[in-house]
Amino acid sequence: MQTPFRPLEYDYHSHRPLRTLIQWVGRPWWFYVSLVLVLLIKHSPVWAIPFLVAQVIDVLTQPEEFPLRLMVMYFGAVFILILQNVPMQTLMISMLSGATRDLEHTLRTALVTRMQHLSIAFHDRMESGRLQAKVLRDVEQIQNFCMFLFEGGVLALFSFLFAVIITSWREPRLLGFFVVMVPIVVGLRTLFRRRMAARNRDFRSEVERMSGDVAEMINMIPVVRAHGLEEFESQRISTQFGVVNQRGRRLDLINAVFGASAFVSFQLAMIIGLAVMSWFCLQGWITVGEIVLYQSLFGMIVMSISQLLHFYPQMARGVESIRSIGEVLECPDLEMNQGRMALESLQGRIDFDHVSFSYQAEKGAAVEEFSLAVAPGECIALVGPSGAGKSTMMQLVIGFRRPQSGHILLDGVDMQEIDMRTARRFISVVPQETVLFSGTIRENIAYGLTGVSDALLRDVLAAANLTELIASLPEGVETRIGEDGALLSGGQRQRIAIARALIRNPRILVLDEATSSLDVVSERKIQESIERAIRDRTTFIVAHRLSTIRRADRIVVMQEGRIADVGTYQELMARPGLFREMLALQDVIRD
Ligand code: ADP
């Protein structure tokens, strides 16, 4: 099996989807040649049987001209051809499925690897649902497309060539008739197909709207219930179900008409063909057996052309999926870490030198001319109204965003020159919303670390005020928590997040204090764990609680992206300004 970790983006050419696909599959040319050979051998009985039937009829109708011996030989040959289908079919599928399943594996791995390296700004722009669809649906679409390309496309093409070559070689006069009939049959089918495509599109878009509506409805149930709008909401959704019902019926109808017309045109063509061939036979140009043979060949031509036409929409979908994946593989928005300096250690000194950052140029700066020198071990509380740029500052500290002007220096070295992946080994983040995954408490705390000793875990649990909670659980740290930690209270989740940050013994801690209010006991426990967490390390806290603010070495008051004031709690309280106004508003900062 090939390695799934090839960097596929180098193989991606947006204007040449098929070439891209072949490079992704990554098999040598002889693989495709042998695959086609196996396919043709496997399929050969279908082509051979009409010859056998023709031979049988000729031997039976004109025994004096066609010897019985020949018929027996035909039987023998077809018998062997039929039997070989089993091993050949197995061989073909194992080759084809090997290639396409490997492709699926490689593509998915390449996509998630790329996603891990794309910048946070990229992930902000791209909805997670769309990325998920790329990894799951688009990749599956491409795999289906490859199977179809082969079993539908290549086989139809060879069937067509086979039938045309045999007919023109044995009876060129018939080929003239085929040339006239085929466009008529195909034309009839195409006529319906266009209308069918329109109705199909219509139906699909209504179904998509319906699933969107249902998802929204489920999310809205508490709101609807609170407003007593259950009847109204059910009615609204039911109307949409009605539309889907109506479009579905219209689609079924046109499908039926198309199915019938396809059947009728195909059968008519075959009957007309039979009439023409009977006339040929009466003229003595062909034998009775050959009527059967040409009839089958004619059927083969019509079928394969119709299959090739059907191939187009499938191909369009496949190509679209290749493009969709390319959006991720080709996106240049990577965190540029390669070749930069690796940090072996960090004291924890940070200097901000006229740092400015804006999300969109036209919206103005989220952080502007931010300058501050932070000594190792200092605790800085960031306060300010919502939208002042506090979270943006945190993202700048961890290198998720890069300043557009100005510099951030870690231990005196510009972050631009540092491989931030190595720097983040010394930085821990406690976000406002704790992200927990389903697994044990130990797995959640030691996430990404191996060989965490029990003693270290115990210390961290004690620092995060979790000892009591763990002791109360029958399985202790091995207790499994539900998806997103649903079984834990808000305060417990936050303390687990603090433990997760502390276990790495970071030199810099970035903590976004949760705004949600907790009961007095939980609040106190969190405060104690924060107090222990900030000891001996540089800490930035987006602070919402007075107790945290009091404890900070310095408080940075932010307003509209700028530093409005800096000082200790006592200094800031001593002078009039935003800080005192904010404290006066008890609902902004709680103790
Ligand atoms: P705070 O954390 O103090 O509430 P933020 O740093 O979140 O402030 O926001 C600062 C400014 O940047 C605000 O005007 C906000 O609208 C804008 N902003 C924040 N995040 C984004 C984002 N991902 N995309 C665009 N604008 C953003």
Strand, coil or helix: 7: coil
- Same domain as 102, residue 29: yes
pLDDT of residue 4 exceeding 60, the answer is no
- Same domain as 396, residue 291: no
Name which residue sits closest to atom 13 of ligand 1, judged by CA. 387
Contact 189, 306 (CB under 8 A): yes
Q: Confidence band (pLDDT; 50, 70, 90) for 162?
A: very high
- Same domain as 381, residue 319: no
Ligand 1 atom with the shortest distance to the CA of 392? 6
- Same domain as 185, residue 89: yes
Sequence-distant (6+) residues with CB within 8 A of 297 are 50, 163, 166, 167
Cα–ligand 1 centroid distance for 560 (angstroms): 10
DSSP 361-425: GGG--SEEEEEEEE-TT-EEEEE-STTSSHHHHHHHHTTSS--SEEEEEETTEEGGGB-HHHHGG
| Per-residue pLDDT at 377 | 92
- Token look-up 């961290």 returns 460
**Could you tell me if residue 354 is inside a domain?**
yes
The token pair that represents 172 in the structure block: 């060129």
Pairwise CA distance, residues 237 & 208, whole Å: 13
DSSP secondary structure code for residue 16 in this structure:
-
Mutate to test the pocket of ligand 1, among 355, 391, 589 (most ligand atoms within 8 A of CB): 391
- Same domain as 448, residue 573: yes
Name which residue sits closest to atom 15 of ligand 1, judged by CA. 387
Cα–ligand 1 centroid distance for 357 (angstroms): 10
- With 0-12 / 13-18 / 19 or more C-beta atoms within 10 angstroms meaning exposed / middle / buried, residue 94 is exposed
Ligand 1 atom with the shortest distance to the CA of 388? 3
Pairwise CA distance, residues 565 & 383, whole Å: 10
**Could you tell me if residue 344 is inside a domain?**
no
CATH label of the domain that carries residue 154 = 1.20.1560.10
CA-CA distances (angstroms) from residue 282 to 176, 276, 279, 291?
18, 10, 5, 11
Cα–ligand 1 centroid distance for 385 (angstroms): 11
| Per-residue pLDDT at 517 | 66
* Structure confidence by residue, pLDDT tens digits, 392-444: 999 899 888 889 899 999 999 999 888 888 888 899 888 888 888 778 889 88
- Chain-centroid distance of CA 223 in Å reads 31
| Per-residue pLDDT at 3 | 45
The token pair that represents 544 in the structure block: 């919402």
Contact 11, 24 (CB under 8 A): yes
485 vs 37 pLDDT, higher one = 37
- Looking at 329, 360, 384, the residue that finishes a domain is 329
pLDDT of residue 193 exceeding 50, the answer is yes
Sequence-distant (6+) residues with CB within 8 A of 382 are 390, 393, 394, 540, 541, 542, 543, 555, 556, 558
**Could you tell me if residue 137 is inside a domain?**
yes
**Could you tell me if residue 361 is inside a domain?**
yes
- Same domain as 298, residue 391: no
> Closest Cα to residue 587, out of 511, 517, 528?
517
Ligand 1 atom with the shortest distance to the CA of 121? 23
Cα–ligand 1 centroid distance for 354 (angstroms): 19
- Same domain as 211, residue 110: yes
**Could you tell me if residue 2 is inside a domain?**
no
Contact 403, 357 (CB under 8 A): yes
End-to-end Cα spacing for the chain: 61
Contact 506, 487 (CB under 8 A): no
- Same domain as 395, residue 318: no
* Structure confidence by residue, pLDDT tens digits, 204-258: 788 878 887 887 888 788 888 888 888 888 998 999 899 999 998 988 888 888 7
Cα–ligand 1 centroid distance for 521 (angstroms): 32
Name which residue sits closest to atom 25 of ligand 1, judged by CA. 359
Ligand 1 atom with the shortest distance to the CA of 382? 3
Sheet containing strand 367-374, strands side by side = 367-374, 350-357, 405-410, 413-414
- Same domain as 556, residue 425: yes
- Same domain as 122, residue 30: yes
- Token look-up 């006339």 returns 279
Q: What percentage of residues in the chain have a pLDDT greater than 90?
A: 26
**Could you tell me if residue 115 is inside a domain?**
yes
**Could you tell me if residue 343 is inside a domain?**
no
Pairwise CA distance, residues 266 & 272, whole Å: 10
Pairwise CA distance, residues 338 & 308, whole Å: 47
Ligand 1 atom with the shortest distance to the CA of 542? 2
| Per-residue pLDDT at 1 | 44
**Could you tell me if residue 141 is inside a domain?**
yes
Q: Pocket around ligand 1: residues whose beta carbon is below 6 Å from it?
A: 124, 359, 366, 384, 386-392
CATH label of the domain that carries residue 476 = 3.40.50.300
Range of the domain at 180: 7-329
- Same domain as 362, residue 236: no
- Same domain as 289, residue 248: yes
Query: Count of domains in the chain?
Result: 2
Strand, coil or helix: 330: coil
Pairwise CA distance, residues 126 & 129, whole Å: 8
